[in-house]
Homo-oligomer: A and B are copies of this chain.
Amino acid sequence: MTSVSIIGAGNMGTAIATIAATGGAAVQLLAQDAEKTAAAAATAGASVASGVAGDALTGDIVILALPYPAVAGVLAQYAGQLDGKVIVDITNPLDFATFDSLVVPAEGSAAQVIAETVPGARVLKAFNTTFAATLATAAVNGVAPTTVLVAGDDAAAKDALINVITAGGVSAVDAGALKRARELEALGFLQLTLAAGETIGWTGGFALVK
């Protein structure tokens, strides 16, 4: 059975936990507040275990469902425990003060920064182009199916994550090498600016049509 640890129990972490549990994965949900995390885990599924950030990771796939500024602290907290894991970065590393640029190198990505920080892990970029509501309903405002875009350099890791997502009822596609995280983060950034400006709603966004 695929095992997934999700760190972060906000709307994204909870939506991802629900998909993973629906698909039959063993899911552990961790965050700062034990009580709120337990409530989120119960929402995600009866089988979902909960705990606090810092607890030993039970998942082979570790999803960082955190805002980008919180990632470095969690990686430090789990230093030495992430080798061999598949790490999934879902962040959109915006400068939230200006909403006008990213805080990662223009030719790189948050995912590549994380991969350099944890060289013993296999890093994937995923979920940053799908708002939580579109994950929860598996549809982009009722118009088209939600598709999770997954980029990474390790084919087996990508396959494992794509299987977790599709087993949970949401489409997922291979979006290329980890280098494509630059483009995924640009897409997520653009989508956020369109939602913040009310050109689209938080139930909408870019739907991938085949």
Give residues in A with beta carbon < 8 Å to B. Answer: 100-101, 105-107, 140-141, 143-144, 173-177, 179-180, 182-184, 186-187, 189-190, 193-194, 197, 199-201, 204-210
- Point out the residues of chain B lying under 8 angstroms from A176, CB to CB: 193, 197
Which B residue's beta carbon lies closest to that of A197?
A: B176
Smallest Cβ distance from A185 to chain B, in angstroms? Answer: 8
Contact A209-B175, Cβ < 8 Å, known A180-B193, A183-B186: no
A207 touches B210 (CB 8 A): no
A204 touches B209 (CB 8 A): yes
Smallest Cβ distance from A135 to chain B, in angstroms? Answer: 14
Count copies of this chain in the complex: 2
- Point out the residues of chain B lying under 8 angstroms from A200, CB to CB: 208-210
Contact A199-B179, Cβ < 8 Å, known A141-B209, A187-B190, A209-B144: no
A194 touches B173 (CB 8 A): yes
- Point out the residues of chain B lying under 8 angstroms from A184, CB to CB: 190
Smallest Cβ distance from A42 to chain B, in angstroms? Answer: 31
Smallest Cβ distance from A139 to chain B, in angstroms? Answer: 9
Query: Which listed residue (B140, B143, B190, B197) contacts A183, Cβ 8 A?
Result: B190
Contacts A105-B106, A174-B199, A175-B199 supplied; 19 other A-B pairs, CB < 8 Å = A100-B179, A101-B179, A143-B144, A144-B207, A144-B209, A175-B190, A176-B197, A180-B190, A180-B193, A182-B186, A183-B189, A186-B187, A187-B206, A194-B208, A199-B210, A204-B208, A205-B208, A206-B208, A207-B208
